[in-house]
Structure 1
Amino acid sequence: MGLSVGTMIAGWDETGPGLYYVDSEGGRLKGMRFSVGSGSPYAYGVLDNGYRYDMSVEEAAELTRCSIYHATFRDGASGGVASERFESQLYVLLLSVYYVGPNGWKKLSGDDVAELHYNYYPVEQTVVEQVMAET
């Protein structure tokens, strides 16, 4: 039918955690981290820079939010492209982060990606703004 699907499947069994990428043709890859979709090169840039094997659940959730934000902000097909689109609030793009562990899954957060813009997009202060903030 011309559809393209990329899916991540996460779970836990007697052997421990499992994360798989499954494509449209049924191909399956096991891995430690994946990004799926047209914005995935942007997300991988953040993931590859910030990932550590010994991350806490909170650190991993923060890295997840940051990588998905950058994918949606930089990739037009993922919901973003320019900060003006985020600031206009013409749409709401929700991001949910889940933890999958030995006792099941738990939703950690649900965020409006436009709100994450103010956490992750670097905006440099002018000299005047810096002086004003310091006084």
Structure 2
Amino acid sequence: MAHRRGRPIHLYPLPVEGRADGTCGAWIATDTDDHVFFEPGTTRPHQNHIILHEIGHILLGHHRPVTTDDAPVRAALPDLDPRLVRRLLRRSIHTTRQEQEAETFADLVLSRALRPCPRNCRCGGTENLERALGLHACADD
């Protein structure tokens, strides 16, 4: 997906400082890269859901105007100059339309990834996610 978009996507465990307010995931976009953070202290399936939620924000073009409050950026990426941040979304509760859309995106992708491959090929976990996102065709295609 990063290759198709022409922008690297970096995945990181969310630092403890970034989780202080109940946040379990975040997306920080700079001019050149996307940085996705996930809760490290949960199950791998939940981490995948958090990551897909943040990717949903990216693909759906969601954003929140960057404010002068750079504390979340400093907590997540202490070495990153906050002036480089173009978009910042944090995942905690799903009360806004953007949060609900990103949550639905993650649910739909995971639901599709869990379905058996219609061609009975031997797709693994990563291939199933790629297939669900339309990025991977079965070996039999």
Which TM-score tier does this pair reach, normalised by the shorter chain?
under 0.3
Q: Which structure has the highest strand share of the two?
A: 1
Q: Which structure is richer in relative contact order (CA contacts within 8 A, separation 6 or more)?
A: 2
TM-score (norm 1): 0.23
